[in-house]
């Protein structure tokens, strides 16, 4: 039985223009210890999907079962990394991580909670920046604190919502490697679902890549397995035949769904626009 079992998930939101169907009939299996990336363009409903999986929002229909139990809220063995760091500005790096540790290990002594937090920051190379406030840290360092906060709670599931989307390319590379290392270093394997809009990032980190079939409503395409040995580097991926194959596959799946959307938009358009000017077919 898969560790994470997603069945027929649908979600819609009320909007001024009527109900907006964001996701429909999403089905996905993730094995224990597997790293799965969900790749899609901006606004395709990826984040909505992730918050459904994490129990942050409730689906209209469908079920999410994690480790045999239906997901009804945020689990205590799950951790989250958001794109915009989500650090509390009035706390130092250490205090930010410690807040998570305190919530995850409430029965430990304050000293051991503090040690856990400091160790987690040390593992991401911030051992000498414990007392710094988030605004005294660069974007990359902030996201390292977020990673430390997530791993400090020793999660069994990790949800990453475009974790490196706000970073510049070079910092992004470094943090991707950090994440891969943190995942590999874990004694117990951590099951990870990552949302990203970067195919390269997905290939670098994932065991499996699932393209979003663009909507609305969005659904998931068929997964592409990445069978590359670890550790992987971007330089190696640029020439590797397997990687090239995977990249071509994912890009094909994504563009096909995008073209479908464009076509449906342009055929739907004439009724909405003035009829005097014929709308050209996009393809």
Partner 1 sequence: MKRLINLLLPLCGIGMALAVWWAASVAVPDLPSPVRTWEESKLYILEPLAKRGESDQGILLLAYYSLMRVARGFLLGVVIATPLGFLLGVSSTLTKMFDPIMQVLRPISPLAWLPLGLVLFQKSEPAALFAIAVCSMWPTVINTMMGVRAIPQDYWNVAKVLRLSRTTTFTKIIVPATLPYMFTGYRLSLGIAWLVIVASEMLTGTPGVGGFLWQEYNSLVYAHILLAIITIGIVGFALDRLMGMAEARLRASS
Which residues in this chain contact partner 1 in the complex, by CB under 8 A?
A: 54, 56, 74, 76, 78-80, 82, 84, 86, 88-91, 99-100, 102-104
99 vs 258, beta carbon nearer partner 1: 99
- Of 66, 34, 49, give the one whose Cα is nearest residue 219: 49
Query: What tokens does 75 get?
Result: 């689990």
User: What three-state secondary structure class fits 122?
Assistant: helix
88 vs 252, beta carbon nearer partner 1: 88
- Cα–Cα distance measured from residue 246 to residue 267, given in angstroms and rounded to the nearest whole number: 32
- Considering the complex, what minimum distance in angstroms separates the CB of residue 156 from partner 1? 14
DSSP 164-209: TTTS-HHHHHHHHHHHHHHHHH-SS--EEEEEES-HHHHHHH-SEE
78 vs 182, beta carbon nearer partner 1: 78
- Considering the complex, what minimum distance in angstroms separates the CB of residue 161 from partner 1? 10
77 vs 200, beta carbon nearer partner 1: 77
User: Taken in order 31, 82, 56, 17, is the CA torsion positive or negative?
Assistant: negative
- Considering the complex, what minimum distance in angstroms separates the CB of residue 18 from partner 1? 24
- Cα–Cα distance measured from residue 85 to residue 141, given in angstroms and rounded to the nearest whole number: 10
- Considering the complex, what minimum distance in angstroms separates the CB of residue 80 from partner 1? 4
């Amino acid at each position: 039985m898969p560790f994470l079992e997603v069945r027929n998930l649908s979600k819609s939101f009320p909007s001024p223009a009527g109900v907006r169907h964001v996701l429909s009939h999403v089905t996905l299996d993730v094995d224990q210890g597997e790293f799965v990336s969900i790749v899609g363009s901006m606004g395709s409903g990826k984040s909505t999907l992730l918050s459904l999986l994490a129990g942050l929002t409730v689906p209209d229909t469908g079920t999410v079962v994690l480790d045999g139990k239906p997901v009804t809220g945020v689990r205590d063995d799950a951790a989250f990394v958001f794109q915009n760091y989500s650090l509390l500005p009035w706390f130092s790096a250490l205090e930010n991580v410690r807040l998570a540790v305190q919530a995850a290990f409430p029965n430990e002594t304050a000293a051991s909670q503090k040690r856990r937090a400091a160790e987690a920051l040390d593992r991401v190379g911030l051992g000498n920046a414990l007392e710094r406030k988030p605004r005294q840290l660069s974007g990359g360092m902030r996201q390292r604190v977020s990673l430390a906060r997530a791993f400090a709670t020793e999660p069994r599931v990790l949800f990453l919502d475009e974790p490196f989307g706000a970073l510049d390319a070079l910092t992004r590379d470094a943090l991707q490697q950090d994440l891969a290392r943190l995942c590999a270093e874990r004694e117990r394997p951590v099951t990870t679902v990552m949302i990203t809009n970067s195919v390269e990032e997905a290939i670098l980190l994932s065991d499996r890549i699932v393209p979003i079939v663009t909507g609305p409503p969005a659904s998931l395409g068929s997964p592409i397995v990445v069978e590359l040995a670890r550790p992987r580097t971007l330089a190696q991926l640029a020439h590797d035949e397997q990687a090239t194959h995977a990249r071509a596959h994912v890009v094909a799946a994504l563009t096909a769904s995008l073209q479908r959307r464009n076509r449906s938009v342009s055929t739907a358009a004439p009724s909405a626009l003035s009829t005097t000017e014929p709308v050209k077919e996009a393809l």
